Structure 1
Amino acid sequence: MADDIRFTLHNTQDTYDDALRAEAAIEPEEVVSGPVRKETQIIAIYGKGGIGKSFTLANLSCMMAEQGKRVLLIGCDPKSDTTSLLFGGKACPTIIETSSKKKLAGEEVTIGDVCFKRNGVFAMELGGPEVGRGCGGRGIIHGFELLEKLGFHDWDFDYVLLDFLGDVVCGGFGLPIARDMCQKVIVVGSNDLQSLYVANNVCSAVEYFRKMGGNVGVAGMVINRDDGTGEAAAFANAVGIPVLATIPANEDIRRKSANYQIVGTASSPWGALFSELAENIGTSVPNRPAPLVQDGLLSLFSSKDTGGDIILEPATFADMCGVELVEKRSLEVIYEEL
């Protein structure tokens, strides 16, 4: 019996060795040669929720398309609102939702199911899980896996713009930075502490992955709803990134954005602003930022606005119990050293 087992194991090992030799004998495929295609600029835009990323991107993409560029806009926010301005408020089917429905029906997702066009811009939304039913970051990863199946790496665009939520720091939302899926990052911020806190976190993520061997850099910052107080510009200068555009806090822009009107066109009074932004983004280079520590970020603002004058008072055990404690003598026997 033992001899039979040894014979079987010996034959199994021989079969395994033969398979390895056969695999090693396969000649590698020839290196692909041919004309070099133009390089697509893949740019990830990050910022605090509600800071105006979708507004900026919708108008920027329309301006780029008007200038003859081929542009793909991908919303990577679970709210799925990146394309709402582009499509006049109409929600387009998300990749995750469509994928789930198609899977139940035993069908494959096609590009026409998830990608739509307007004003020369191609746009789609990754989407996210229903509230309480999944991880938004994992949904982003699943969405990009599906894009790869649809031939993402073979598509021919001048620009691919990725709209990412910056408040969330889990792996899925950091995907473009962590996996070198984009060449550069743009942060959108304003003259308020919370949006600059998010922008600083993004810079920290870029710097972390640069130390790990990554290549993504920060191309610059777009200051939205600028009221002239200067904190956002001071932040950009402090971390070492350029300001690509400054969009003023203007009632005309606010009203038109609320009514789903595009202002990033040559026929608009704001066309020149977005034309300059498109030019600056196209020529910008990925910088290695120098993120600020918390005190450095707070120093951009007046101490009376950020609590910089507050002194932290340590709590005591009595505070935590809510009563005045009476010290009790210990019953432990302590022996003096001889």
Structure 2
Amino acid sequence: MTLATREAALPLAAALLRAEAAIPPDPVPTGATRETQVIAIYGKGGIGKSFTLANLSYMLAQQGRRVLLIGCDPKSDTTSLLFGGRACPTIIETSTKKKLAGEAVAIGDVCFKRDGVFAMELGGPEVGRGCGGRGIIHGFELLEKLGFHEWGFDYVLLDFLGDVVCGGFGLPIARDMCQKVIVVGSNDLQSLYVANNVCSAVEYFRKLGGNVGVGGLVINKDDGTGEAQAFAESVGIPVLAAIPADDDIRRKSANYEIIGRPGDRWGPLFAGLAENVAGALPHQPRPLSQDALLGLFKGEAVGRGVVLEAASEADMRGAAPQPRPSLEVVYDTV
């Protein structure tokens, strides 16, 4: 090509480059198709979020929805409740075994189903031998390789540990992997403290441009004292259901029984929860300060009235401190 020909081709090449640059990039995948609701459920350990999720997912499936339940809590108790106490292989342990054997992980190795509910457990590292958050990230990376973005579910429910101070457990909120968050709490300070932390995480990432909101609060083991209801009103989120502190529920849950069945005693409760979760809007919460959170409880329950008394040097030493010469070098100013 001659110099003249090369110079004549430059404007055309520039025009082609400008046209290519004007083409918008493909959208970043968020974990599911637009029609799929991805919902992350958070709550303090032992508050009953896995119990709530197992029964909620079962009821949704009985209502004709396609549901995928993913346990993201290292305790791996979500699927145990769904499968009547039977533990299923976790994604992390299966991935490790397959890698050592030089084999690839298949859907059937990690995903199992019961009465229309598809379920899997991410799992976690052995105690003291790894980071639970890193396990979550690794698990979702494997799910993406298995085609997570292409699965056709109406609902994907993620059961997360409530401690979102760890980046891995805050993943759905931080990376817009879900459209909304549901928190499970009770009428006790610790569970509402965790719920408030989740609201704080949502508010923080929304300020950074995130889109995840809080769909609402599920009150579990509700004894009627009203602190959880007051919390929901204070932070600006709805109560989706109040599951009573009933001995029948406690006994059946301990025996790994599903109570969210149409026609059963507790069926209407979970049918209502399913409809409320499906229609819940992603609210932007107003997290409470520590004092405001304590203010939801009676003074005798949280120790209000105690005055903070500052400690002295003598208190710390157990005796009066002896003066010592200073080693500080002081320079004369001119």
TM-score norm. by structure 2 comes to 0.88
Corresponding residue number in structure 2 for 1:163: 159
Is 1:302 matched up with 2:302? no
Match of 2:7 in 1: none
Cα distance in 1, alignment partners of residues 291 and 282 from structure 2: 26
1:43 pairs with 35, 39, 46, which one?
39
Match of 1:184 in 2: 180
| 2:264 alignment partner, one of 265, 268, 278 | 268
Distance in 1 separating the partners of 2:329 and 2:167: 54
Is this contact kept in 1: 2:42–2:198, CA < 8 A?
Answer: yes
Alignment correspondent of 1:282: 278
Residue 307 of structure 2: which of 311, 327, 334 is its match?
311
Partner of 2:8: none
Q: How does 1:192-211 map to 2 (within 5 A)?
A: 192-211=188-207
| Distance change (3 Å), C-alpha of 1:173 and 1:336 | closer
1:77 match: 73
In the alignment, which residue of structure 2 is the partner of 1:324?
A: 320
**Structure 1 pair 58–332 and aligned structure 2 pair: CA distance change class (3 A):** closer
Distance (whole Å) between structure 2 residues aligned to residue 334 and residue 114 of structure 1: 69
Counterpart secondary structure, 1:160: strand
With 121-130 and 307-316 compared, the bigger mean Cα shift is at 307-316
Separation of aligned partners in 2, 1:283 and 1:63: 15
Structure 1 equivalent of residue 249 of structure 2: 253
| Unpaired runs of at least 5, structure 1 | 1-20
The unaligned stretches of length 5 or more in structure 2 are 1-13, 27-32
Q: Taking structure 1 as reference, are residues 323 and 247 closer, same or farther at Cα in structure 2, changes over 3 Å only?
A: same
Q: Secondary structure at the match of 1:61?
A: helix
Task: Give aligned pairs, total.
Answer: 314
* Compared CA separation, residues 330 and 221, structure 1 to 2 (3 A): closer
C-alpha displacement at 1:333, in angstroms?
10
Aligned CA distance change for structure 1 residues 330 and 163 (closer, same or farther; 3 Å): closer
CA-CA distance at 1:169 after TM superposition: 1.5
Deviation of 1:326 after TM superposition, in Å, equals 3.8
| 2:307 alignment partner AA | I
Distance 1:302 1:282 in 2: 34
SS at match of 1:172: coil
- 1:254-291 deviation line (CA, Å, top 9, x unaligned): 00000011000013100000000000011110000000
